[in-house]
Amino acid sequence: MLGRLNHVAIAVPDLAAASAVYRDTLGATLTEPQALPEHGVTVVFINTGNTKIELLEPLGQGSPIAAFLEKNPSGGMHHICYEVDDILAARDRLKAAGARVLGDGNPKIGAHGKPVLFLHPKDFLGTLVELEQV
């Protein structure tokens, strides 16, 4: 079921400043910022060759990232995303095994234009897990 690592997401309080660190200090090439209102974030991706880093900052008042940044004002690792071939089959298998799917349990379209789901961090060793259908 589990595919390759798609990205590691880092929540940041200032997307422009974080982007500058990756671009100017690490020499990374970044995508343009992309607002994702349905997810309450604005994102920038950094391609590292074998995976991606996603920088994300809150978008709007109800952003789940805002609550994360209240607890971690400097930012930090927010979630890890794995690819799956069939997101509905993966969801059903995980739910049958007792894992909790966040939200209403139905996939939303993510930053790459593909269906995504998030899994409760308490079921995955304290790590928020995103699944993305490839």
Catalytic center residues: 130
CA 83 to chain centre: 12
d(CA 53, CA 64): 19
d(CA 25, CA 63): 28
d(CA 106, CA 31): 28
Q: Which amino acid is at 121?
A: P
C-alpha distances (whole Å) from 31 to each of 16, 23, 52, 92, 127 are: 12, 11, 11, 33, 25
3-state helix, strand and coil shares in percent for the chain, rounded to the nearest 5: 25, 35, 40
